[in-house]
Structure 1
Amino acid sequence: FKYPAMLSYFYNDKDYEKISIEGIQCLEKYHGTAAGVINGDEHLSGNSPSQGAELCSVVEYMFSLQTMLEAFGNPYFADKLEKLAYNALPATITEDFMAHQYLQQANQVIANKAKRPWFNNNEESNMFGLEPNFGCCTANMHQGWPKFIKSLWYKEGKNTFIAMVHAPSSLFTDINGKSVHITAETDYPFKNRIKYNLKGNGIKDCTLKIRIPSWCNKFTIYKNDNIYHAKNTALSDNDFIILQDLQENDTVVIEFAMEIRKTFWYHNSIAIERGPLVYSLDIKENWKIFRELMGIKDYEVYPETPWNYALALNGECKECIQDISDTPFSKKSPPVTLYTKGKLCQNWGLSNNSAADLPYSPVHIDNTEEEIRLIPYGCSKLRVTEFPFYT
């Protein structure tokens, strides 16, 4: 992915940005899943949610998106970056960073040593451990979050600072020797509010641009606790809000409308999304130690509750928002959970030790409708993310 972006530094050809976007769109069409990953187990493997995506590919894809953001400044890449960072990355690593998977699945209903339809990778590839299958991810996984943090803010021209990727952060910089300090206070991606505190004697000389995510159709901006009316803002292609005439100690608050939406995937399945987060079935997990050496443990994870649900296509989704803990991507206390309606799909079971191929939707089911609990993809280690649906 980085290749066209790197070439653009040496050759004045505007097609490189177009080539990058078309390359991503092509891979997503034939090998992508709802979590934003590209399926591949050393070879591209199609977009079934039971195929695997390598942890190395997650962090390297993130780095490529960061490189394209720097080269082209297109917020398209920021949307992709947030989706990977807030879903696929935490889902495949334990909270203490002592175990990870080589391959993750969007529909991952069991994670154990077993033969699966990988092209190259071995039977331990979706277990959680120190070095499942091969050690490259053990060395590579740590670049994900630090490089992500380095890619939150960008500078345009001499005095424009862009809040491109949203996360809690602090920016320390200057304009012609005058200090600029901007902090972003937020519980994003779980909550919709970001507060920017503007400090330093260079603030009056700067322009602040805030990216509007592609999933956001409505937003409200407050400046110093007053609504910052639309007539005082300049929208550029609906991608950024631009704020000028700033003063030291100003505060700017933006609230994105995080509407729950359904997106369509493999075999006409549906995924549930809210803001940059994808939601998955909350499956009760049973962690078993597979091996232990010098205090380092490898695990198998088994489901203890049914997973083969179809969702009501037109079912209402209710959200429950809680305080955020020190480990926000934790199954123990997900900051936001969703509740909707579903039915057990008894004709959908296991095949090759993974969820069988998704039945093509819509499906006909006579079972009783139940309330289904969904948690953020990044909080799950077992999950169903792409669901068959009934009408």
Structure 2
Amino acid sequence: MNNRYAWLEEEWRQLDQHSLARALHTVEPMSKDGGAWIHVSGQRLLNLSSNNYLGLAHDKRIVEAGMQAAQTWGAGGTASRLVNGNYTLYEELERQLAAWKEREGALVFANGYQANTGVISAMVGRGDAVFSDRLNHASIVDGIILGRANHYRYRHNDLEHLEYLLREQRGGRRKWIITDSIFSMDGDMAPLTALVELRDRYDAMLMVDEAHGGGVRGEQGQGLCHEAGLANQVDVLMGTFSKAFGVYGAYVCADEVVIRHLTNKARSLIYSTALPPFVIGSVLEALQLIQTETWRRVAVRRNARLFRHLLRLRGFSVEEGDTPIIPLAIGENELTLQYSRKLRERGIAAVAIRPPTVPAGSARIRFTVMATHTRADLEWAADQLKGIRDEL
């Protein structure tokens, strides 16, 4: 080994020693169960680790729409959108997104990470104050760092703490409150009504990340903000196409003046190649299915309640709720890894989530249910989990 890389070996050794090392696992071509089952190294596994909440990733209509777009427009985006990558499919998608979200404009980004880092760093700067929930996604944190604003992290869903910080920074230049709508590792929801009230009281602005709410919540899948009747009171609504949509990419919806500003200032948009036409064509079809096939939202929320109930019946401590993210807190890194390995041995794909993704001492198995899981799937999974607990 080259001695210049000795420090990398030591970094790896430290990660491995603390049960924090990670490795990639190759997933083979999917089965025909709407993504509910996958194949890994020749083993068929019940998929309880996917963000494909509505089971749309394998829908033939979406795949065919993407293929048609590729046949018409070619395989690649060929340039950034501000050069010549802004083909008409983009404009059609953004028009439909704005109508769906009932906002003046929309802007599509390459992925959720680029959307959050690009939007936040374009909207805030030195001297501004950003108030961010402590459990917000890493892309939000990184966007704030890139924007060089003063960063104030309030305790998770703690409105008193947030108001204290807002009051203390009353004299700042511009103030932003930023939150996930549904938190990616805990599956709980932000108190959106109260956040809007605080935004107004302290003359701030509000951005909500609907990555895990879009498609799953709201009458037509618009997200938790719409379900709460607050969509027009949020300054920037962000969402992704990589979860409930089952495709790839991300978007923001806002007033036209905000969209214009982002088009000129969001570096992750300006300096990235446009998404391939296949992706945009697929997303357009997925957007229609999300709005019309309401049974998928009903099914995923029913399965979320059911799996929580099944786990509690077997003595596990999980929070009540109907979001598809269901964390089972274990605590110790190594024990969490043992649970994950045992689950795989029994035919279940459920990943151990450890620091730094979650705080130290809060390692967990993060289950995610889908609309395409059956009751038999979830009952069997709960039984396997009880068997592992008894074994360990």
With normalisation by structure 1, the TM-score equals 0.25
TM-score by length of 2: 0.25
Give the number of the structure whose residues are more often strand, by fraction.
Answer: 1
